[in-house]
Each structure stands twice: as C-alpha cells, then as structure tokens.
Amino acid sequence: MTNEKVSTGIDGLNTMLGGGFPQGQIIALLGSCGTGKTTLSLQFIWTGLQSGEKCIFISLEEGEADIISNAMNYGWDLKPHVENGTLTLVKLEPSDAKSTLAKIKSELPAYIKNTGAKRVVFDSISLLSMLFDSDSERRSGLFELCKQIKNSGATALFTAEVDPDNPDVSRDGLVEYVADGVILLRYNEANNDIHLSVRIVKLRRSNHQRRIKPYNITARGIEVLEKAEVF
C-alpha cells in the first residue's frame, strides 16, 4: 500500500481529499440525478489520459458515442485516446444480467491487468448492483468485484444513485461499505436557486477534510470552491 495520491483533475476536490484519491483505492461517488457524477468521472479519466495513463470507463447507461459526446461537451476529446488504445470504453447491457455479470467476473480482472489500466470507472454501480438476484449475491458480487479491482492496483471510481428517501445514502445501501472512500454530492434549494455541495464522507487511511464545500458544473467540468463555505 503506497501513500500516493491520484489527481481527480479538480483542484478544490484534491485539497479536500488531502491530495487526491489514494492510489489503488475504490471510491464511491454518491449523488442524485444531475449532480455531476458522470461529469466528475469523465474528468477523473481525462486527467489520467493527460499523463498517459491507461483508463477504462465502464458505462451501464450510455454507449461509446454518447460517452464521447458527453466528454466533448466539456472540451475533453476522448476519441484519439480510444483510437490509440489508451482509453477503453465499455458499454454493459443491463438488460442481459446474466451475461453482463459473467463477463465482469471472468473478463474484467484480466482485462485491467493486461491493459495495465491505472484508472477504472463504473458509471453507475447502482445499475450493476440491480442485476444481482438477491441481497446476498449482490453483497458477495460487489465484494468480489472490489477485491479483483484492488488486486489489479487500479484506482477506481464507482458512481452511485442515492436512495430517493434519503439522499445521504446509496440506493443499494451497500456501495459505501465496500468502497474505501465515499464522496457525497448534493443539491439544496435556496432563494429559487440550486446550490451544489460536496463532502468527503469517508476515506480510508487518509487525513481528509470534513467540511462541506460548494461546487459548480461549468463548461470545463466540475469546479470545487474549496475556499468558500456553504452556509
């Protein structure tokens, strides 16, 4: 276990994290729809690509073309990286649960190892989680997935939807326990405006900040206003 940090590409968030994501850890990114989970994931991948790191972006929601145009919306041109093999975009079919889960189990660990990927994203782990038949399979399946990713040495980001009745916890109530770190994105309404805020809920073996900070989604991605206070 090293003490190295992996930059998220977002200065304010890196500061909150004590430098970045701890290398080799699995981070869960929780937030309701539109809080910027996919954006932050793409920013994390884009930052890795800038330093020549191999990356894998696994989507259960969008196909390759949509992921590429999503990133392009922020000025991040993924296409050349896909073409030269630095970035692998994977679309998993939630409709075909059995083959998707089998694929993840049998192919993904070897794939991460073989490509030497440093950064892996699952967008979203909630959709993956729903493919399991029972709670116990879900639990053991997610634990197994995490174990394999950790064996590979890659740093991973799992996006997760929140429970509609409690925006502080994930829909499956599980991902925050299997992950090493948890980041929570929230929006609050005030004065007819939506305010986005971020906090680090947990981060194993790291001295991270606990204060809630405001952030914006801009044409250049996410920007955390680390010097500002939310309230």
Ligand X SMILES: Nc1ncnc2c1ncn2[C@@H]1O[C@H](COP(=O)(O)OP(=O)(O)OP(=O)(O)O)[C@@H](O)[C@H]1O
Query: Could you say which DSSP state residue 161 is in?
Result: P
Closest CB to ligand X among 61 and 144? 61
38 binds Mg ion (CB under 5 A): yes
Least Å distance, CB 144 to ligand X, is 25
59 binds Mg ion (CB under 5 A): no
> Which residues, 6+ apart, have CB-to-CB distance to 4 below 8 Å?
22, 23
Cis omega (within 30 of 0) for bond into 32: no
219 binds ligand X (CB under 6 A): yes
Q: Which residue is nearest to Mg ion (CB)?
A: 38
Closest CB to ligand X among 37 and 208? 37
Binding residues for Mg ion, rule CB under 5 A, total 2
Least Å distance, CB 61 to ligand X, is 6
Backbone φ and ψ of 28, nearest 5°: -95, 135
59 binds ligand X (CB under 6 A): no
H helices within the chain, ranges in order?
11-16, 37-50, 64-72, 79-83, 97-106, 108-115, 125-129, 135-152, 175-178
Q: Are the CB atoms for 87 and 49 separated by under 8 Å?
A: yes
- Segment lying near ligand X (by CB under 6 A), choices 34-42, 98-106, 108-116, 206-214: 34-42
Q: What single-letter amino acid sits at 172?
A: D
> Which residues, 6+ apart, have CB-to-CB distance to 211 below 8 Å?
16, 199, 229
Dig out the tokens for 170 from the structure: 């994930």
Among positions 33, 83, 165, 192, the unique one binding ligand X when judged by CB under 6 A: 33
The Cα–Cα gap between 132 and 135 comes to 8
Among positions 217, 223, 225, 230, the unique one binding ligand X when judged by CB under 6 A: 217
181 binds ligand X (CB under 6 A): no
Binding partner at 217 among ligand X, Mg ion, none, C-beta below 5 to 8 Å by kind = ligand X
Among positions 39, 47, 115, 126, the unique one binding ligand X when judged by CB under 6 A: 39
- Which spans of this chain sit near ligand X (rule: CB under 6 A)? 31, 33-39, 73, 217-219
- Which spans of this chain sit near Mg ion (rule: CB under 5 A)? 37-38
